[in-house]
Amino acid sequence: TPESILKQDGSRKNDCERNAAKRLLADTRREHPHMKIIVIEDTLASNAPHIRQLQDLNYRFILGAKPKDHTFLFDWVDNTAATTEHEITDEQGVKHRFRYLNGAPLNEANFELEVNFLEYWEIRPSGKTTHFSWVTDIPIHQANLMVLMRGARARWKIENETFNTLKNHGYHFEHNFGHGYQHLSTVMVHLMMLAFLIDQIQQRCCGLFNRAMVKAESRRRFWHRVRGLFQHYLIPHWEALYQGIANGLKPTLIPYNTS
């Protein structure tokens, strides 16, 4: 479940993303003590206290690390003989250039906290260049460069497929419902996330749900059809609802008696 950024009971300080992340990481590890998890986060997370918490909770991690935020680390990589470079050109002519170093100190204040540094340039045939850099606790070698890079960049894929869908495809995530007297906005967010989770499970496991989605042609139009059927019919069960959408017929739906 998502962890709300919300002032906790007994606290006088406002809550923040970093504190919410601490609670989420601890709760997730408590609920799943043996699960192998790689945490992927942006550059705000590549600080010593957060990395130490990840280590204490037995998480692997790939965290963004920008040059302006990690001057000491980048200088160390620049001036260390063990720093390695490697380049791969794929079938589309895209060059993947890497620079990496294992066992680099995170910063001068936390010299004993060692991380593995990975820097990456994507150079397209047009000349367009994209640059990223990360720190990780996963040992880096030539054979896993592409895997680590793709894993790190998957953060954008995860965010897009989650929050873009919630905002723009029928869940109304960006709508301001107001805070209300009993944390209404937080309740609405949790309900939206729960609905999205159920839809993801059905998309993964339910053939009838997927047929209904294909018939509707988009998630937004799917939700319009769901609302329309609920307005005009008594729906005995979910199977009847999805059959009605997928088949374009309503033989199992019961019209409202308006007499």
pLDDT digits 0-9 by tens, 107-129: 999 999 999 999 999 999 999 99
Please, are residues 237 and 252 in contact by the beta-carbon 8 Å criterion?
A: no
Q: What pLDDT shows up at residue 258?
A: 62
Q: What pLDDT shows up at residue 189?
A: 81
Q: What pLDDT shows up at residue 232?
A: 82
Q: What pLDDT shows up at residue 48?
A: 97
Q: Mean pLDDT per segment of 10 residues, for the chain of length 259 residues?
A: 67 76 93 96 95 98 97 98 97 97 97 98 96 98 97 87 80 66 74 87 93 90 88 85 82 62
Q: What pLDDT shows up at residue 9?
A: 63
pLDDT digits 0-9 by tens, 184-233: 777 888 888 888 888 889 989 999 999 999 999 988 899 889 888 888 88
Domain boundaries for CATH 3.90.350.10 within the chain: 36-157
Q: Which fold has domain 36-157?
A: Transposase Inhibitor Protein From Tn5; Chain A, domain 1 (3.90.350)
Q: What pLDDT shows up at residue 250?
A: 59
Q: What is the pTM of this model?
A: 0.78
